[in-house]
Amino acid sequence: MARLAIILAAGEGTRMRSAFPKVLHRVGGRSLVGHALSAVKAAKFDAVSVVIGPNHENVGEEAKRFAPDAKTFVQRDRKGTAHAVMQADLTGNYDAIVVAFGDTPFVSAETLARMGDAVKGNVAVAALGFRAADPTGYGRFITRDGKLVAIREHKDASESERNITLCNAGIMALAGKHAAAILKKISNNNANGEFYLTDAVEIAAGMGLDCVALETSEDEVRGINTKAQLAEAEAVLQAKLRQRAMEQGVTLIAPETVFLSEDTKFGSDVVVEPYVVFAAGVVVEDGAVIHSFSHLDGAHVGKQASIGPYARLRPGTKLGAKVRIGNFVETKAANIEDGAKANHLSYIGDARVGENANVGAGTITCNYDGFGKAKTDIGAGAFIGSNSSLVAPVKIGDGAYIGSGSVITLDVPADALAVGRGRQSVKEGWAKRLRDARLALKK
């Protein structure tokens, strides 16, 4: 059974009121088209095509990230969903062609596979339906004697057809051997002047072929057309991700305040305090504690590490076991090895911090000179005094000691002390003399 999946992603997304293509908007840290393609991938289709809009190369690139073998096709004029499908290459003797939307992110792999399975024998079209709480705007399934005979778009539907609550989710499977013949017959004679894929049902029925309706839940097929729907989808997904994390044993003290990504990974006995955000690509190992108000993005947190409160871990952060990152510490592209600590008010970027090193309050790695980035290397067991600036590229040897308030521009050998600051001078009685002189002037 060879199967092709086509993801339609060429829509303008006008209702999003955004300069970005709609399908690049994110839910749970993943783009809408990324969600759709993840399901396609899990359903193991033999080929994947994505139909994108003109000047939407970024959608093509995002698609390749999730499905490197996907072919992209550009739909120059957006003349409707059937027209979009016809931009893809349908030759290839596919048994089933499953069409899904780039703006419908929660469709499961099982549903996509079920759709593909449904077209066989005399069944040429399978359409996915759901019972809509509010069917306004959706296409309606018209059935006769239990058979699906047409899908009527809301705008084209009669008063009585609008009372139908079984709505079209938009996902459709076509038998490969009939697809081209059916699509060719679709016209744009409707309220929108578009070539509707939904007309495939009526046409196939007219050709003496069968159409079937499959049903699923509204939550699975919620389409995203507006920012409000994007936010609703986020809420639905977050509820699911929190539930999943807790089922795996993560302690979420106030789950409704924690935001997760589809790909957030937790080990056992992780505790997450209230108000923490996990952007994409975060792994948290066993026994780590993430304190309140921390933001983690593309970071790997080692076993029994302690993060925050108020920590910011940016992409490329890798923390070993028992690392402590305290309040108002920011890390980026930083490899912080087992037992190292940066407890207060620091920026550690493009750096390695060796095992058990101690990075004092206010330490900054000066990694950027306005043109390029350079690396800071802090050896195992080094002690960086508070409020030091480490001007990269620079290397602090194992066990070295940096005096507080230093600006370090030269490498420091292992076990050495480096102090780079003005020497303190003390003038006995100076303050008193000043006060006395000023007071004398006032008299």
CA distance 129 to 214: 6
What is the residue whose two structure tokens read 């409000």? 228
CA distance 314 to 228: 28
CA distance 168 to 103: 14
Backbone φ and ψ of 6, nearest 5°: -120, 125
- Taking residue 293's Cβ as centre, other Cβ atoms within 10 Å add up to 17
With contact defined as beta carbons under 8 Å apart, do 104 and 217 qualify?
Answer: no
What is the residue whose two structure tokens read 């759901």? 130
Judged by CB under 6 A, the residue of 223, 281, 399, 420 near ligand UD1 is: 223
Q: Please report how close the Cβ of residue 136 comes to Mg ion at its closest, in angstroms.
A: 13
Answer yes or no whether residue 223 interacts with Mg ion by CB under 5 A: yes
SS3 per-residue string spanning 320-347: CCCCEEEECEEEEEEEECCCCEEEECCE
Answer yes or no whether residue 232 interacts with Mg ion by CB under 5 A: no
- Taking residue 322's Cβ as centre, other Cβ atoms within 10 Å add up to 18
Element of type H or E holding 359: strand 358-359
Judged by CB under 6 A, the residue of 4, 5, 6, 10 near ligand UD1 is: 10
Residue with smaller CB distance to ligand UD1, 6 or 392: 6
> If binding means CB under 5 A, how many residues of this protein chain bind Mg ion?
2
Answer yes or no whether residue 129 interacts with ligand UD1 by CB under 6 A: no
Contact letters (x/-) for ligand UD1, 30-59, by CB under 6 A?
---------------------x--------
Residues marked active site are found at 344
CA distance 416 to 256: 50
Contact letters (x/-) for ligand UD1, 140-169, by CB under 6 A?
-----------x-x-------------xxx
Contact letters (x/-) for ligand UD1, 57-76, by CB under 6 A?
------------------x-
Judged by CB under 6 A, the residue of 45, 66, 94, 101 near ligand UD1 is: 101
- Which of 389, 380, 387 has its CA nearest to residue 415? 380
Residue type (1 letter), 176? G
CA distance 441 to 331: 54
Residue with smaller CB distance to Mg ion, 223 or 309: 223
Q: Please report how close the Cβ of residue 235 comes to ligand UD1 at its closest, in angstroms.
A: 18
Task: Bin 29: left if φ > 0, else alpha if -120 < ψ < 50, else beta.
Answer: left
Answer yes or no whether residue 196 interacts with ligand UD1 by CB under 6 A: yes
The region of 113-121, 178-186, 195-203, 345-353 touching ligand UD1 under the rule CB under 6 A is: 195-203
Answer yes or no whether residue 79 interacts with ligand UD1 by CB under 6 A: yes
Contact letters (x/-) for Mg ion, 165-204, by CB under 5 A?
----------------------------------------
Q: Please report how close the Cβ of residue 189 comes to Mg ion at its closest, in angstroms.
A: 21
Strand partners, 168: 129
279 binds, among ligand UD1, Mg ion, none (CB under 5 to 8 A by kind): none
Binding site for Mg ion (CB under 5 A): 223, 225
Binding site for ligand UD1 (CB under 6 A): 8-11, 51, 75, 78-81, 83-84, 101-103, 138-139, 151, 153, 167-170, 196-198, 223, 225
